[in-house]
Amino acid sequence: MKKTILLLEDDRNLNRGISMRLEKEGFRVLSAFTASGAEDLFEKNEVHLIISDINLSEGSGLDFCRKIREKSNVYIIFLTALDQEIDIVTGYDMGADDYITKPFSLMVLVSKVHALMKRVGTEKTSTLKCSDIRVSLKEMKVWKGGEPLSLSKKELQLLIFFLENPQQIFSKEQIAEAVWDIDGQFVDDNTVPVNISRLKAKLEIDAVQNVRGMGYIWTKDVTKE
């Protein structure tokens, strides 16, 4: 069965070009030109990945992403001309898994799509525990002291990465590649430190340590169930 991609792009020529390329790669592509149209397609189909523009003539890609994140952990790639750091950070805060700025290479987009699609259906159904923190990989939810903890999609993926690899030192580049599925050069130099700082503030435990000149390490023991 082909995996399904929902493409929200109001530039019809670009939409058609991306759709044709992805279909050649073996994917089923649902094309939408408005946020409302994309929402309708999402509700009526099993979607494995969303590629969404941010600036739309009708609606907002960010608002669309926010609505999707309220009910689904489907993978999302933003495709946009907005390339300022604040725009990229906002995109990730809204729950995006990746962010590609225009103009872009179709080969790069296809590579990122394949990287995310490899994850579909492979998530473990286990639980990770550390101190008073519990993460359900099946539900993609986090609890601290028995209470639900609100994390952005990137913060959650970052936490899972550390919990699955405790007591190991990882460079910023390795973390960027593992969590953002992209080469370090495509990530702003502050992206990893900023997200780690936000995660630590929300967890309120001193588990992630910076190893000068080497990277970061999760220092506490983790149990897996």
E strands of 68-206, at which residues?
75-80, 98-101, 127-130, 133-136, 141-144, 147-148, 169-170
Residue 122: pLDDT over 70: no
Predicted TM-score (pTM) of the model is 0.55
CA distance 173 to 163: 18
- CATH superfamily, region 4-117: Response regulator (3.40.50.2300)
Q: What is the pLDDT of residues 14-63, one digit of tens each?
A: 999 999 999 999 999 999 999 999 999 998 888 889 999 888 887 788 88
Start-end of CATH 3.40.50.2300 domains in the chain: 4-117
What is the CATH code of the structural domain delimited by 127-224? 1.10.10.10
Residues of the chain with CATH 1.10.10.10: 127-224
